[in-house]
Amino acid sequence: MHLKSLLVTGFLPQLLSASEMRSRGVVCSFSTPASNRDTCESFAKTWGLDVAKLTSLNPGIQCPDLVVGQNYCVVGEVSTVPDSTTQSSTSIKTSSTTTTSTSTKTISSSPYTPTQPGLTPDCDKFYLVSAGDQCDGIEAKFSISSAQFYAWNPSINAECSNPWRGYYVCVHAPGAVVTPPTPTKPANGGISLDDFLKWNPDAGNNCQGLWANAYACINILPAFTLGTYYHTDCTGTIHNAAAIQMQTDGACINTDCQAGSVKVIPQGACPDGEIQISYWEQPGCTGKWFGYSYTSRDTCHRMWTDGWKFKSLHLRCASEKDDCVSKGTCTFDPEPANNVC
């Protein structure tokens, strides 16, 4: 799975070299916020980059100054998409065979540029961010959930402090389920009264406990936000992107034999940042259970068997010392002799 993709990718520069290069896109693997007094030069140096590389990874960046708290891409790939590509003979090398085929392919530049780094590649509906836009307002406008919005736009941080004005974000992808808007959202903050009272318990049912000129909470960090990658070193195609909320028992995601590693962004509310990964034989976290591994925020984690012997994962905040295997109260199924992928 992983070797084949690497070898195919190695031929792409030769296939595209005869085409006129028009538009550029960024596939961001990791972004991080700028701190106070950071400049393009100091920020790039911290991450082993030069200013030219930093600006290529972050189209629209306004050097020399950076916006404190805004995420900037520091690990990623800049791709150049040809306006049209005519391909007369293509050689694709796999781990065991070489195949020659003849085809003609036309690739049209997307009209939705620029986009924020890391935007899901299968997006089919876009929204141009304007001054004053907030994530909750965009979600309400297109009847999508916060989890969907952050999954399709992984470069946007949990506080929604870094949507870039004049850039497109994704507001729909194939297979997404949208729900009609309901009148339960208050005018200010874009949250329900139930959530407001849950996050501010001293406010009281009638809000009699609110104090003038005192801050109230109107949003909370997700437990963690992750992406699964095709290769084992958190590179290649992002197959899953998800924000897992606190006060849940985590979530099950199907890897579809397309994930060899998982990466969790630095921001999140998991206690101690520890995240449990549970491996399941079949989609939907069913079939045989092959036990746990653990990762943490801001870490690339190579998956068990490099992704070959399971088809779904369950992820949640949990400590290794507290799981049933460590306590000796459960046993997992033995590793299968053959791959399931």
Radius of gyration of the chain (CA): 22
Q: Does residue 262 surpass a pLDDT of 80?
A: yes
**What is the rounded average pLDDT of the residues 218-227?**
71
Give the pLDDT band (50/70/90) at residue 189. Answer: low
Q: Does residue 1 surpass a pLDDT of 60?
A: no
pLDDT at 96: 38
260 within a domain of the structure (yes/no): yes
Tokens of 238: 């992002």
Answer yes or no: are the C-beta atoms of 62 and 43 closer than 8 Å: no
pLDDT at 226: 80
46 within a domain of the structure (yes/no): no
**What is the rounded average pLDDT of the residues 189-204?**
74
Q: Does residue 126 surpass a pLDDT of 60?
A: yes
Q: Does residue 99 surpass a pLDDT of 70?
A: no
- If one counts the domains in the chain, the total is 1
- Average per-residue pLDDT in the chain? 74
pLDDT at 270: 79
pLDDT at 102: 36
76 within a domain of the structure (yes/no): no
- Residue of higher predicted confidence among 166 and 286: 286
Q: CA-to-CA distance for 120 and 69, rounded, in angstroms? A: 23
pLDDT at 182: 43
Report phi then psi at 295, rounded to 5: -140, -175
- Residue of higher predicted confidence among 195 and 311: 311
pLDDT at 289: 96
pLDDT at 44: 87
pLDDT by residue (tens digit) across 295-311?
Answer: 988 889 999 999 999 99
Give the pLDDT band (50/70/90) at residue 339. Answer: very high
Q: CA-to-CA distance for 54 and 48, rounded, in angstroms? A: 10
Q: In what order do the strands lie in the sheet with 238-244?
A: 238-244, 224-229, 261-264, 299-302
Tell me what percent of the residues of the chain surpass a pLDDT of 90. 21
297 within a domain of the structure (yes/no): yes
pTM score, whole prediction: 0.44
Tokens of 138: 């965009």
Question: What distance, in Å, lies between the first and last C-alpha atoms of the chain?
Answer: 9
> Which CA distances in Å does 101 have to 30, 90, 104, 160?
36, 6, 10, 46
Q: Does residue 120 surpass a pLDDT of 50?
A: yes
What are the residues facing 91 on neighbouring strands?
A: 100
Q: CA-to-CA distance for 139 and 199, rounded, in angstroms? A: 20
| 167: Cβ contacts below 8 Å, ≥ 6 apart | 60, 114, 115, 116, 128, 129
97 within a domain of the structure (yes/no): no
257 within a domain of the structure (yes/no): yes
Q: Does residue 334 surpass a pLDDT of 90?
A: yes
218 within a domain of the structure (yes/no): no
* CATH (domain of 258): 2.60.20.10
Question: Per mean pLDDT, which range of 7-21, 133-147, 177-191 is the poorest?
Answer: 7-21
pLDDT at 294: 93
Q: What is the DSSP letter of 292?
A: E
pLDDT at 285: 94
179 within a domain of the structure (yes/no): no
Q: What is the DSSP letter of 95?
A: S
Q: What is the span of the domain harbouring residue 301?
A: 224-327
**26-35, 248-257, 276-285: which has the highest mean pLDDT?**
276-285
Give the pLDDT band (50/70/90) at residue 13. Answer: very low
